[in-house]
Amino acid sequence: MLYQLFDWWMRGETEYAYGSPLFRAGIAVLMAFLIVWALGPRVIHMLVKLKVGDQAQFDHDKLNEMLKLKKNVPTMGGILIVVAIFLTTILLANLSVFYVRMGLFCIVWLAMLGGVDDYLKLTSARRGGSRDGLKMWEKLVFQIALGALLAVFIFRAGSAIAEEDRFTKIDKEYTPFNVLSVPFYKGEPLGAYNGVLIAGPVFWIITVVVIAGTSNAVNLTDGMDGLASGCMVLTAAVFMALAVVVGDDVLCNRLLFFHVRGAEELAVMCGAVIGACLGFLWYNGYPAQVFMGDTGSLPLGGLMGFVAIVTRLELMLFIVGGIFVIEAISVLIQIFYFKSTGGKRFFRCAPLHWHFHLGGWSETQVVMRFWLIAALFAAFALATIKLR
């Protein structure tokens, strides 16, 4: 809204600070932080009053004993993050850009899904029932449906936008959405560009997998005070920079990325993610006053997946968000090993952060070391830009 207001006031003149997506992304960091910081005490008080507290129940007696102090700490605090991202994006981003509207749709969809899951889980546990909330297949149905909708709209609208200004002069049949960018790869059929040609249905499958996978990976990482939000700050910071590059036709050609017109506005959304997560860390850092729950973790992961899809950097997301990938893989290994060995565990407990906690690391040690690993993944991902 503010972008449109300034644009009208300046009569479409782009040579001013507010016209820069990177400038507005920086403002978004501050604005989203202040929204969460200001609303935090009231929302936490409301959640305590509603008695939506974490029951800290796991299939591991020792872990339950270690986490008994977290019992009844309010969850569903992710509503703070979602509100901050939504309001900041509405105010600072160019809403005429199709990808911004789709990003807002993505976070609202997943926030509602996570909110229902949290509410069912927590109110059921309070009554002494199951704390499972929505079944995994039920969540997957909605995540896959979202991924399918985004895939269709992004492919059609994005390809139409690319028709107006080709990102490459190699062949008119190529658009960013029928090419998969591959880090470290430089070769045919795209010459200087790094990528391989894919069919439309493959793009749709990739979109569904990325949206469902990233939202669940962040959800699995959200377990310790500040762990998921701190790692998300680093991931969003990298994609804020990459969105600016991909949306700039000069920078993307220089660095051999695919140009996606309008993608630079997603830097504002990434800035909002950074600010919202930093603001949430104010209350979620050890000892946590509130947890984000599925209400926050699902939309955060899904939004990062969405940004990766639009910028055509899905594989880069596996590097940037390496810590989330490791956490998700640890769960898959645990499940497979448990079923194949008749009940034995590969890790002490999964996801992986609980394995180290049970091994003697304090919670703050686990979180800080995982943050460091996430920072190394982020730095390596940025280094790949020049290795392309």
pLDDT for 281-292, tens place per residue? 999 988 889 999
Confidence at residue 176, expressed as pLDDT on a 0 to 100 scale:
76
Confidence at residue 161, expressed as pLDDT on a 0 to 100 scale:
67
Instruction: Give the position of tokens 């810590």.
Output: 323
Q: Pick from 350, 360, 380, 356: which is nearest to 370 by CA?
A: 356
Taking only the tens place, the pLDDT of each residue in 344-379 is: 889 888 889 989 988 889 999 999 999 999 999 999
The radius of gyration of the chain from alpha carbons, rounded to an integer in Å, stands at: 21
Q: Round the average pLDDT of the chain to a whole number and report it.
A: 84
* Beta-bridge mates of residue 102: none
Across 62-76, 202-216, 303-317, 324-338, least confident range:
62-76
Confidence at residue 171, expressed as pLDDT on a 0 to 100 scale:
47
| Tokens, residue 4 | 């449109």
Q: Which position has the higher pLDDT, 87 or 168?
A: 87
Across 10-24, 71-85, 214-228, least confident range:
10-24
306 CB burial (10 A radius; 0-12, 13-18, 19+): buried
Confidence at residue 4, expressed as pLDDT on a 0 to 100 scale:
61
Distance CA 388, CA 378 (A): 16
Taking only the tens place, the pLDDT of each residue in 302-351 is: 999 999 999 999 999 999 999 999 999 999 999 999 888 888 889 888 88
pLDDT band at 170 (very low <50, low <70, confident <90, very high): very low
Confidence at residue 384, expressed as pLDDT on a 0 to 100 scale:
81
Q: Is the pTM of this model over 0.75?
A: yes
Q: Pick from 359, 295, 305: which is nearest to 328 by CA?
A: 305
Across 84-88, 200-204, 252-256, least confident range:
252-256
Taking only the tens place, the pLDDT of each residue in 114-145 is: 999 888 877 765 555 555 678 888 899 999 99
Mean pLDDT of 61-74: 71
Residue type, 77: G
Distance CA 86, CA 288 (A): 24
pLDDT band at 18 (very low <50, low <70, confident <90, very high): low
DSSP summary character for residue 290: -
* Beta-bridge mates of residue 179: 197
Residue 279 near residue 255, CB atoms below 8 Å? no
